[in-house]
């Protein structure tokens, strides 16, 4: 019978509790070992994330303020500043939790269909009301604060690109596209127009557009091999 968690093992012997803690015996044991102190409060953390999402929904990313989040979460401002350097970083965490996690890799057996499905899903998700504004707000801030850019890239962009790379790799394995396909450019070709339309709003992010982009890419990739001859 083993008790879980933190403190060691707890064994119930009739009416006596034994808390057994194994102390490591290694030589390097005696090092100064920075003292353990009070840990980050999970409650506060969650309340802050929740308040952030709520307020973005209500007022948009631009209307977001640390002060407002603190008030809504019932938290001191310092508690926010302690853990996040900026409202951008906070937003990224709040959103990456919410948005990207559930994105799945399609598997139709055909690269073209896979790509269409992936792009279609992403289009559908990203054009939902507050999301698009959050994205553009973050992008704008990323221009000024380089760390925001990095976090945004790793939090949102990278995952999508890697999903894409995996699909293309499968296509290469199946012989649908040449093995020396430049995946980076492929990604830019598919996602670039998406952001472009999202940001400028001059044309819709619909399934038709997704299909067109994929089609054009596929032709480009296929032909590229021949041209090299």
Partner DNA sequence: TGATAAACGAGACGGTACGTCCCGTCTTGGA
Partner DNA sequence: TCCAAGACGGGACGTACCGTCTCGTTTATCA
* Contact positions vs DNA (CB under 7 A): 5-12, 20-21, 34-41, 43-45, 47, 63-68, 74-79, 81-83, 86-87
The CB-side HSE value for 189 (13 A sphere, CA atoms) comes to 19
What is the Rg, in whole angstroms, of the alpha carbon atoms belonging to the chain?
Answer: 24
Query: Does 116 engage in binding with a second copy (CB under 8 A)?
Result: no
- Residue 167 CB, nearest approach to a second copy (Å): 18
Measured from the CB of residue 107, what is the shortest distance to a second copy in angstroms?
25
Least distance in Å: CB of 41 to DNA?
3
Q: Do residues 174 and 111 touch, judged by C-beta distance below 8 A? A: yes
62 binds a second copy (CB under 8 A): yes
Q: List Cα–Cα distances, 72 to 2, 20, 61, 79, in angstroms.
A: 41, 43, 15, 13
User: In whole angstroms, how close is the CB of 205 to DNA at the nearest point?
Assistant: 30
Nearer to DNA, 148 or 190 (CB): 148
140 is in the binding site of which of a second copy, DNA, none (Cβ under 5 to 8 A by kind)? a second copy
Rounded distance between C-alpha atoms, residue 204 and residue 200, angstroms: 10
- The set of residues, in sequence order, having a beta carbon less than 8 Å from that of 138 and lying 6+ positions away, is 61, 88, 91, 92, 148, 152, 156
Would you give the binding string for a second copy spanning residues 143-162, x where CB under 8 A is met?
xx----x--xx---x-----
Interface with a second copy (CB under 8 A), residue from 52, 91, 132, 151: 132
Residue 142 binds a second copy (CB under 8 A): yes
Give every CB contact of residue 3 below 8 A, 6+ residues apart in sequence.
9, 10, 11
């Amino acid at each position: 019978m083993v008790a879980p968690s933190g403190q060691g093992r707890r064994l119930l012997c009739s009416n006596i509790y034994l808390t057994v803690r194994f102390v490591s015996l290694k030589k390097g044991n005696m090092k100064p070992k920075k003292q353990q102190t009070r840990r980050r409060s999970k409650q506060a953390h969650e309340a802050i994330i929740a308040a952030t999402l709520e307020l973005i929904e209500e007022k948009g990313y631009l209307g977001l303020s640390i002060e407002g989040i603190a008030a809504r979460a019932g938290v001191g401002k310092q508690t926010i500043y302690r853990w996040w350097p900026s409202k951008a970083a906070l937003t990224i965490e709040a959103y990456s939790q919410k948005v990207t996690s559930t994105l799945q890799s399609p598997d139709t057996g055909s690269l073209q269909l896979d790509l269409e499905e992936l792009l279609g899903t992403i289009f559908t998700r990203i054009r939902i009301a507050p999301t698009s504004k959050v994205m553009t707000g973050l992008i704008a801030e990323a221009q000024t604060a380089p760390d925001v850019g990095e976090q945004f890239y790793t939090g949102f962009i990278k995952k999508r690109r890697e999903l894409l790379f995996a699909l293309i790799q499968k296509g290469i394995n199946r012989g649908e596209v040449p093995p020396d396909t430049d995946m980076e450019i492929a990604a830019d070709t598919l996602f670039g127009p998406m952001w472009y339309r999202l940001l400028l709003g001059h044309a819709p992010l619909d399934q038709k557009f997704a299909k067109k982009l994929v089609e054009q890419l596929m032709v480009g990739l296929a032909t590229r091999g021949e041209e090299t001859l």
